[in-house]
Structure formats: structure tokens, C-alpha cells
Amino acid sequence: MKKILITPYEDRSRFCLHSDYMNAVLGEKGLSYVLPQTADEEILKAYLEGADGLILSGGGDVEPALYGEERTPLCGEAEPERDKMEFALCRLALEMDMPTFGICRGFQVMNCVLGGTLYQHVPMAENHDRCDLPKDAVHTVSIMEGSRLHDILRKTETGVNSRHHQGVKKLGQGLVATAFAQDGLTEGFELPGKRFFLGVQWHPESMYAKYEDARKLFAAFMAAVKGQ
């Protein structure tokens, strides 16, 4: 069976992960493993070598210094150990061409690792910060024809949940934007030439139980994962 690593957040000396991530991997008959937080590249590489795919999960804000900006008051608290770990992990996964699925914060991490920047608080944040409806489609995104995302979903528009107040400002090098909210915010991208290096700003793991498009995304990720 295919082994998927998932990054956690840390809360009061506990590594935590919302059950939706593991349930979505289970739904695809995959095995999932929550990583510890470490920036030790030897350890991270060994984890990646023993696995088949990586999910960079959702969470808090990336430290602005990591994309060359000064912190503004609306930027959330940083999680420095998590930043270090996920940046290192994402770079290693790119080097190894490990299938990588970035979700929300994970999508933002991917962008920063490739030299992109973030809005510390998007101007239209009230349209996107809809934590009151965590599992429901609250806005649509248009999907670019010719993209892998379009190949997966086979449509030019889908409904997504929206639990973010930050967003992609400058796109990272080589990334192709594939999904846009009506206000123009980038909500999906992919890196052509890789087995699977795709990120979305929304949370498909939370829509997995109810929405076919969320299931299609996880199925496509798992299909790109080779298994051992």
C-alpha cells in the first residue's frame, strides 16, 4: 500500500493533525503517517525515502521573513520550527521528485520555497475567512483549461471551502496558476514536469466526505504516488 507522510502543527507539546487528512488518505486505501517536527535534513530525507508521497497540510501563517517581507500587524503568529521543517521537506521532495500535495498553508509553503511571496492579509479576506463553514463550498474557483487540475476535475469551475486570510501574491518560479477565485486570488497551482507537485488554497480533505471533486483530487494524488 502507498505510504503518505503528512506534516503536523504543534500545540502544547503535541504534534497535531486534523483527522480529515488521514481519513481522506484512508478513503483512497492509503497509509498515512504524521511526521514529527524537525529540520534535520538527514532525518527528513530518510522519512521521504521510506514513503511514497507527501502532504503539506494546512495551518497558521508562514513567517514573512522567509519570503523577504517585514511582518505587518495582521499577520498571524509564526511557528518557526514548522516553517523550518516544511521548507526543508518541500525542497527535498522537489529534489527527489516525490509526489507532493500542498493544502492551504502547504500551498503557501510551496510558493515561498520557489521564491514566491504571500499577502499577509488579503484585501478581500472576509470572503475567504469562512471558518464558520469549514466543510462547505463557499465560493467558486475558475479552473484553467490545459492544466493538470483541469484534467483531474474535467470542468472549468468548482465550489471550494475557504479558511484562509493569506494568499499567494507573487507566484513562485516555474509554478503555473491553475485556479482563481472571482476576486482574482490564486487558489491553485502546479509545477509542470514533476510527477505531482500541486497545491490548492482550499481544504479538499474537509470536503472529501461530501464532494466528488475533493475525492477526485485525492484520487489523482494517490494515482501519482508509485507505491512500493
Contacting positions for Mn ion (CB under 5 A)? 128, 162
Alpha-carbon gap, residue 96 to 92, rounded angstroms: 6
Nearest approach, Cβ of residue 184 and Mn ion (Å): 11
Cell 516553517, residue?
83
Considering the complex, state which of residue 159 and residue 174 has its C-beta at the smaller distance from Mn ion.
159
Query: Which three cell numbers, joined as nine digits, stand for 159?
Result: 465550489
Q: Cell numbers for 200, please give them.
A: 490548492
Closest CA to 5 of 41, 39, 32: 32
- Give least dist CB 191 to Mn ion, A: 21
Catalytic residue among 75, 90, 104, 112: 104
Whether 70 is a known active-site residue: answer: no
Task: Judge whether 104 counts as a catalytic residue.
Answer: yes
Task: Give residue number: closest CB to Mn ion.
Answer: 162
The DSSP letter of residue 64 is G
Return the number of the residue (58 or 99) whose C-beta is nearest Mn ion.
Answer: 58
User: Cβ 129 to Mn ion, closest distance in Å?
Assistant: 9
**Closer Cβ to Mn ion, 156 or 173, answer by number:** 156
Q: How many residues does the chain have?
A: 228
Rounded CA gap, 52 and 28, in Å? 14
Do strands 176-181 and 186-190 pair parallel, antiparallel, or not at all (unpaired)? Answer: antiparallel
Residue 92 C-beta: closest distance to Mn ion, Å = 29
In this complex, which beta carbon is closest to Mn ion, that of residue 155 or of residue 226? 155
131 noted as active-site residue: no
State the maximum Cα–Cα separation within the chain, in Å, rounded to a whole number. Answer: 47
The whole-angstrom distance between residue 204's C-alpha and the CA centroid of its chain comes to: 10
Q: How far is the CB of 197 from Mn ion (least distance, A)?
A: 21
Residue 194 near residue 97, CB atoms below 8 Å: yes
CA 221 – CA 32 distance, rounded (Å)? 13
Residues taking part in catalysis: 104, 203, 205
